[in-house]
Amino acid sequence: MLPGNVFSGAPFKTALWILAAACLALTVTGAAVFGIVRSTLYEQLGAQILDDTMLLRDIYQTGGPAALTEAVKQFEQSAAPVGEAIGVFALTGERLSGNILKMPEIVGWGPLFPRPHGLDPSAAFYGNVSVLGDRVLVVGRDLGLVRTVQTRLLRALVGAGAAVALLSLLIGYGASRGVYRRLAEMAAALEEVSKGRTEVRLPMTAGNDQIDRISRQINGHLDHLATLIDSTRHSMAAIAHELKTPLNHAHVLLQNAALATNGHTDPDALEHARQEVSKISGIFDTVLRISRLDAGADQTNLAPVSVADIMQDIAAIYAPVLEASDQSLHCDLDGARDARILGDVRMLRQMLANLVENASRHCPAGTSVFLRVLACESGMVRLEVADTGPGIPPEARTEALKPFVRVRRHLGPEGTGLGLALVAAIVARHGGTIALSDNAPGLIVRMSFPACDV
């Protein structure tokens, strides 16, 4: 796995955007917190300085300049708290008392320069310079605590930013690496599928994340593709098998006609050859029709049609045909005589005709065939074609809807196995569903279509 493939991944780029946003938010928040803390510390320090200044101002107002000078001298001679600065100066700048050697050049609040005598020369002081009559009073405090807090706060903010950056990069790299690994597995699986291994599927995890959901959809499409490929392979083999017999028959018949010794062709042989070729043409026509329906290439315009009328037409056409085979055809339209669906009359007639012909061809004498139309509460119209023949076993019903599949044990050797496949294609073309069930005895074919209100 190349590092460049991981760093260029979407998760890592997302992590970088999140990191940039987090750093920006941390910078803004840190600056605000830093300013608030700094302002609070200066306010507390200023309050202490102001208390001392007010005390000395009261001494001055009570005892005059001499009392002020004496109070500052006593402060200087006593064990003065470390970090405190105090001094009294004449208006000319002469130092009168205190631990500040030179009068500051400012009046009011600000840093004190030069540093107080006897204290750490590297320390910074903040104080207040006020004028009391002919005296200048200077009171200050060491900024060491303020600077310490600021430094630690700044280090904490920088450390937090570095930790967030490192954690974001690690998470982004890990996520990008995991996504890239799974995409590589998907690519490898699809590569195997492209080589003809249609049983290969994309790997899944228990997390059910976005990639899992996409993989599940792709696997569904691969299942459908594998089914189509298997169906195509089966259809090709079945077509070759179905065409082999009539082609051989036609070849033999034409060869016999060509070798006639009396110089005259045999009309019966030519007629048999024509029938075999016609059978081949019929197979191709049916296969082409099913392919066009499955591919959605049939552009027949659909319109509201009465299924009752179609069933009556089929019953009128095929009732005499079944009677000639000692069978009977019954039509029950009482369930939904006015039912209408959006469909093509020609295709729907062919669908019902195929089912009736299949029932008649593969059922013995005495069989009854029933045509029914029912209205369902779910807004569907159901058409049923049932018979009292031998039926189809449950395990073979799904296969019976596929092209060239014949349940020989029950349907006999006749037919090409395309009748039910064409019916299923027509039902699917109309947005319906088809199911084969047991009629006890016999088979019942149920086809459901969306009802049309027009």
CATH says 210-295 is which class?
Answer: mainly alpha
Q: Taking 90 as the threshold, does the pLDDT of residue 367 lie above it?
A: yes
Reported pTM: 0.50
| Higher pLDDT among residues 135 and 210, named by residue | 135
Instruction: Tell me: cis bond preceding 114? Omega within 30 of 0 counts.
Output: yes
Cβ-contact 249, 270 below 8 angstroms: no
CA–CA separation, 452 and 432 (whole Å): 13
pLDDT at 297: 47
Residue 264 pLDDT level (bands cut at 50, 70, 90): low
| Higher pLDDT among residues 68 and 407, named by residue | 68
Residue 449 pLDDT level (bands cut at 50, 70, 90): very high
CA–CA separation, 249 and 278 (whole Å): 12
Q: Taking 90 as the threshold, does the pLDDT of residue 386 lie above it?
A: yes
Cβ-contact 447, 433 below 8 angstroms: yes
Reported as type and span, the H/E element at residue 11 is helix 10-77
Per-residue pLDDT of 4-46, as tens digits, reads 555 665 666 777 777 788 788 888 888 888 888 888 888 888 8
| Long-range own/partner contacts, residues 164-169 (CB < 8 A, 24 or more apart) | 164/19, 164/22, 164/23, 164/26, 165/19, 165/22, 165/23, 168/15, 168/16, 168/18, 168/19, 168/22, 169/15, 169/19
Q: Taking 70 as the threshold, does the pLDDT of residue 323 lie above it?
A: yes
Domain assignments of the chain as residue spans, ordered by start: 3-147, 210-295, 303-450
pLDDT at 411: 47
Distance of CA 121 to the CA centre of its chain: 68
State the CB neighbour count (10 A cutoff) for residue 178: 15
Q: Indicate the average pLDDT of the chain.
A: 80
Round the CA-based radius of gyration of the chain to a whole number and report it. Answer: 50
Architecture per CATH, domain 303-450, reads as 2-Layer Sandwich (3.30)
| 370 DSSP β-pair partners | 330, 386
pLDDT at 252: 72
Query: What DSSP state is assigned to residue 379?
Result: S
Q: Are domains 3-147 and 303-450 of this chain identical in fold?
A: no
pLDDT at 454: 64
Q: Of the CATH numbers 3.30.1890, 3.30.450, 3.40.50, 3.30.565, which one belongs to the domain with range 3-147?
A: 3.30.450
